[in-house]
Structure 1
Amino acid sequence: MSETLYTPLPNRAVIRVSGADRIDFLQGLVSNNVEKISAEHSGYGALLTPQGKFLFDFFMYQQDDNSLLIDCEGGERAENLFKKLRMYKLRAKVELTNISAEYDVFAVFGDNAVASLALPQQAGATAPFGNGIKTVDPRLAAMGARVLVPHGEEPALAGIGASQSTPDAYHALRVRLGLPNGSEELEVDKAILLENGFEELNGVDFKKGCYMGQELTARTKYRGLVRKRLLPIEIDGPTPEIGSVIMNEDREAGTIKSIHGTAGLAMIRLERIADGGALQAGDATITVNVPDWVQLPATE
């Protein structure tokens, strides 16, 4: 993919968190270290249940000296996140505002995406972009960059030498790289962060101190409890349905979570790919690809 492309991500929302207690407020809730968010560095993290199960994932940016921006799933998911944050606000000096109507979220991707924005090839590296923000994808620099601009400032993206693309092209690259897209692949109230790559994708800080759901996340890591992982798949043959079971001969090897073209993401039982054998989902042959950023545990 030599051409630099950009696309709007219409299914995103933006929530502003402002006020004197904004850092401490989010720090006690989010899986990553909010204190590291600055004008030069953005982050990725998740809000979990008290039992450590996935609720929401999002990107975090510093808007100014008094405000952070949360780039999250849109629609009802954004409304539910806003309500959840408001529920935990209590007496904290924090103001929450859904400013989705004011901002647009774009992805810039392709081999020269980061260079076209004059950013270093470092996940989370951030700088101003006109009246908005540009950042190397905080999960993985190979995904390119994200740009938040006030509504109506999209023409500025053409000035970086990028061609307009589509969300479908962005998601096809995303699944081939193995990156989850919130509730599209992560089951709400059930998914576990470390099975979905959050440690390697800079979504968890194990040194930051307490946050909601920390105990299960830490126990999963230090007791080596990861036995399955969300991994990219290639599909050869009739496209199976999302949710289809992947079989290794007569044994269940995983479940398809999403499909974009001939690629997708599936939750794979690691022992089923370690012992070889052809994988099938219906009449389709499934090939599991392990990205170089994924660190798989040793299997017995």
Structure 2
Amino acid sequence: MSVTRLIDRGVIRIGGEEARDFLQNLVTNDMDAVTLEQAGYGALLTPQGKIICDFLIVALSDRDGGGFLLDTPLLQTSDLMKRLKLYKLRAKVTLEDLTERSAVLASADGAPLPAEVGVVYTDPRLSALGQRAIVDAAGADDLVDAVPEAWHARRVGLGVPAGGRDFPYGDTFPHEALLDQLGGVSFRKGCYIGQEVVSRMQHRGTARTRIVPVVFEGGIATETGAPATGVGKPLGTIGSTADDKALALLRLDRLADALAAGETPLGGGLAFRLAEKPGFIRFPYPGEPDFGAAA
């Protein structure tokens, strides 16, 4: 077992008798599926359907006070708290930022974490990411024996994006960030903020930009944030990197044009290719027979 502390994560607690309904009316995922045995993955969107913040949602037992913990990106936590308070109105919920008192741990090698360390749960996006735990900040570092980069390298290898690293908040649709592929969007639940735009993209198949894993031909990836180009046109942006692998937010239709023209796409001036398609990705890649039918 190898454990790391994800220092770029914050924690928000949502309690009260209406906590589940409160979240159900706001977030992209179906809160009915979030149980003590199964964490959830979702996001809060703008009315235009773009991601303000994505997060993991953990249900607490009555013994732990009930309600939910949100495992959130640290830099978005304060803004998320403000927005949740704005939407609270007269709902019977309590909101508390636990970031200073809590720490988020993760399995760097996919092995289970000890149940006694805190609130332990399997990453709901992809089980291969392993378990995470929300624990008291005091003493958390005593459990750590791996650097965060080890966990992120595993994440990149599995093809799972991270907000702020692989896509910008406030300017990315859920389909582009693969929330629809990773269980972060329900197309069967009732209304939530931004739902109309998300549903339209789903039914019309208009998501041309997607995050996909790539491999750099030279054995080393370019820097995060480098532009990707092909056929003299911008393709998108390179995100998280690990050795020769990276995640890239790309216009797949333009990538298809580049490949059809026999051109090698470049990221920061370095040649790359699409990596093997992760098993969780269901949309067609450039070159597949049904590409273009539904991006």
How large is the Cα RMSD of the aligned pairs?
2.2
In structure 1, the residue matched to 2:226 is 244
C-alpha distance in 2 between matches for 1:267 and 1:200: 15
Specify the code of the residue in structure 2 equivalent to 1:244.
Answer: A
C-alpha distance in 2 between matches for 1:282 and 1:29: 38
Residue 171 (structure 2) aligned to one of 168, 190, 196: 190
Q: Aligned pair in 2 of structure 1 residues 250, 147: CA closer, same or farther (>3 Å)?
A: same
- Report if the CA contact (8 A) 1:53-1:192 is conserved: yes
Offset of residue 219 of structure 1:
0.6
Segments of structure 1 that go 5 or more residues without pairing to the other structure are 119-128, 159-163
Matching of residue 268 in structure 1 with residue 250 in structure 2 = yes
C-alpha distance in 2 between matches for 1:211 and 1:250: 40
Deviation string, structure 1 residues 54-107 (Cα, Å, up to 9, x no partner): 100001111233321111011x42111111101111111111011122221111
Deviation string, structure 1 residues 107-131 (Cα, Å, up to 9, x no partner): 10325x1xx348xxxxxxxxxx226
C-alpha distance in 2 between matches for 1:282 and 1:14: 35
Specify the code of the residue in structure 2 equivalent to 1:105.
Answer: V
- Report if the CA contact (8 A) 2:117-2:133 is conserved: no
Q: Aligned pair in 2 of structure 1 residues 149, 243: CA closer, same or farther (>3 Å)?
A: closer
Matching of residue 294 in structure 1 with residue 281 in structure 2 = yes
Residue aligned with 1:183, SS: coil
Matching of residue 147 in structure 1 with residue 116 in structure 2 = no
- Report if the CA contact (8 A) 1:17-1:67 is conserved: yes
In structure 2, the residue matched to 1:13 is 10
Residue 222 (structure 1) aligned to one of 203, 207, 213: 203
Matching of residue 101 in structure 1 with residue 100 in structure 2 = yes
Specify the code of the residue in structure 1 equivalent to 2:131.
Answer: A
- Report if the CA contact (8 A) 2:11-2:98 is conserved: yes
C-alpha distance in 1 between matches for 2:60 and 2:102: 12
TM-score by length of 2: 0.86
Q: Which structure features the higher share of strand residues? A: 1
In structure 2, the residue matched to 1:209 is 190
- Report if the CA contact (8 A) 2:108-2:146 is conserved: no
Query: Which has the higher mean CA deviation after the structures are superposed, 130-139 or 242-251?
Result: 242-251
In structure 2, the residue matched to 1:200 is 181
Identity of matched residues, %: 37
Residue aligned with 1:194, SS: coil
Query: Which has the higher mean CA deviation after the structures are superposed, 252-261 or 19-28?
Result: 252-261
In structure 1, the residue matched to 2:287 is none
C-alpha distance in 1 between matches for 2:223 and 2:103: 31
- Report if the CA contact (8 A) 1:44-1:57 is conserved: yes
- Report if the CA contact (8 A) 1:56-1:183 is conserved: no
Residue 31 (structure 1) aligned to one of 4, 15, 28: 28
- Report if the CA contact (8 A) 2:229-2:235 is conserved: yes
C-alpha distance in 1 between matches for 2:9 and 2:228: 30
- Report if the CA contact (8 A) 1:54-1:186 is conserved: no
In structure 2, the residue matched to 1:259 is 241
In structure 2, the residue matched to 1:121 is none
C-alpha distance in 2 between matches for 1:139 and 1:261: 23
Specify the code of the residue in structure 2 equivalent to 1:70.
Answer: L
- Report if the CA contact (8 A) 2:109-2:151 is conserved: no
C-alpha distance in 2 between matches for 1:148 and 1:243: 30
Segments of structure 2 that go 5 or more residues without pairing to the other structure are 285-289
Offset of residue 215 of structure 1:
0.6
- Report if the CA contact (8 A) 1:176-1:233 is conserved: no
C-alpha distance in 1 between matches for 2:9 and 2:41: 14
- Report if the CA contact (8 A) 1:6-1:107 is conserved: yes
In structure 1, the residue matched to 2:72 is 72
C-alpha distance in 2 between matches for 1:133 and 1:282: 41
Residue aligned with 2:121, SS: strand
